Structure 1
Amino acid sequence: MSELEQRIARLEAIEAIRDLDARYCRALDDGDWDTLVSLFTDDGEFVGLSTARGHAELRTFFAGLADAGLTAFWHHVTNLEITLDGPDTARARSFLWQPCVQDGEPHIAAGRYTDVLRRVDGAWRYVTKQVTFDYFVPLTDGWDHGRFTVASAAATYPGRPFA
């Protein structure tokens, strides 16, 4: 394979992993458990609020979130960093911002995903998808108890007035 072909293959792999993350968020937010589970390898695991391994456990875990009081969520993932370890293995890290509804009350959460990925039959899949939360609080409490205000944010932009 030429250097150009290698570079193109690398870029295609990275874009496919970005697409995998987008499909994960959409399937999770839409409650499309079949699609969501298909994004994991057969022995794949989710580690976070709980640990679920294999497609049957993954489906039970994700479908059971509403029973645990988490009835709505909107996953926003950004700053995806992808490291290709080989032609069929990779790692990724990203930031998560997640407005959600827990026990009927609006919440706000943010954290990080750390993923291990493997290409299976030409498609990238999660071997491990781990989430760690920096905060997960009722929206009325604020995410950081007012540490950042409009005035303090405005102070970072000298000469730009904010009303």
Structure 2
Amino acid sequence: MTDNTDLLRRIDRLESLDAIRQLPAKYSLALDMRDSDAWVSLFPEDVQVGGGKSGRKALRDWFDETMGQQFDGTSHHIGGHVIEFIDENNAQGVVYSKNEHETGAEWVIMQMMYFDRYTRIDGRWYFQRRLPLYWYATDLNKPPIGSRKMRWPGQPPYEGSFHDLFPSWQAFWERAGKAHDAPVSEPAPIDGFIDAMRKDHPLPRPRVR
């Protein structure tokens, strides 16, 4: 009888990839439709909310307050999604998001990405953590040229953290115009592309609006 262990492992990996890939899409749909119960169900029961609070109820309270006070409407468009497994029940990923926000008299567009951790509990995949990293936010009619590209109505402009997850951005500009003689790195392991790019770089602490 043929050993099906490897086949079952590969099927599980494919099913897990699909389940994880749907998480950001479900997140965006629930957020844009203001279904806070559906939105918080994408996180574990003991999700950490901040300020010493935890749990889906606390996260739902934050959602209802934030979405009710800041935005008249939103639309989140999911882009490229890199997913890598740490083990069979834990994974990490980077996913792009292009967002639109109706906020009072202004229509604010935003480009960002999330650095995610995913975990599987009782056979179901959840967000364990989402680290938002912003490039710009600005009125639709005001291109975000120059520095301090995070430009929300009624707030001083500030820098986002879009490029701070990986050290390559700063290194590129430091060597701009100079000879680059270092040998080309070997391709990263299949589940090691993100870590290979990060090079143990510390996590940024983005400013949240």
Task: State the TM bucket, normalised to the shorter chain.
Answer: 0.7 to 0.9
Between Structure 1 and Structure 2, whose CA radius of gyration is higher? Answer: 2
Residue aligned with 1:64, SS? helix
Q: Partner of 1:65 in structure 2?
A: 66
Residue in 2 that maps onto 1:112: 113
The letter for the 1-side match of 2:131 is Q
* Structure 2 letter corresponding to 1:21: P
1:16 to 4, 7, 19: 19
Equivalent AA in structure 2 for residue 114 of structure 1: F
- Judge conservation of contact 2:100–2:107 (CA < 8 Å) in 1: yes
Q: Tell me: CA distance 1:85–1:136, structure 2 relative to 1, closer, same or farther (3 Å).
A: same
Deviation at 1:86, TM superposition (A): 1.1
Match of 1:159 in 2: none
1:33 is aligned to 36
Letter in 2 for 1:39: L
2: CA distance, partners of 1:46 / 1:144:
34
Alignment check: 8 A CA contact 2:49 2:58 kept = no
Distance 1:71 1:92 in 2: 30
C-alpha deviations, 1:7-48, integer Å up to 9, x for none? Answer: 11111101000112211111011000000001101222468x
Counterpart secondary structure, 1:109: strand
Q: What residue identity is the alignment partner of 1:3?
A: D
Equivalent positions of 1:69-80 (< 5 A) are: 69-80=70-81
Give identity over the alignment, percent: 28
Deviation, 1:134, is 0.6
How has the CA–CA distance of structure 1 residues 23 and 128 changed in structure 2, closer, same or farther, with 3 Å as cutoff? same
Q: Would the aligned equivalents of 1:65 and 1:71 in 2 still touch at CA under 8 Å?
A: no
Specify the SS of the correspondent of 2:69: coil
Question: 1:105-156: CA deviations, max 9, x gaps?
Answer: 10100101111111112111111112121101111212447xxxxxxxxxxx
Any stretches of 5+ residues in structure 1 without a counterpart? Answer: 146-163
Aligned residues: 143
Q: CA RMSD in A?
A: 2.2
Where does 1:149-160 land on structure 2 (aligned, <5 Å)?
none
Query: Which SS does the other structure have where 2:93 is aligned?
Result: strand
| 1:42 aligned partner, one-letter code | E
CA distance, structure 2, for counterparts of residue 96 and residue 26 of structure 1: 13
Quote the Cα distance in structure 1 between the aligned partners of 2:17 and 2:121. Answer: 15
Q: 1:43 is matched with which residue?
A: 46
CA distance in 2, matches of 1:144, 1:52: 38
Where do 5+ consecutive residues of structure 2 fail to align? 147-209
Distance 1:143 1:5 in 2: 49
**79-88 or 1-10, which moves further after superposition?**
1-10
Q: TM-score, normalised by structure 2?
A: 0.62
TM-score (norm 1): 0.79
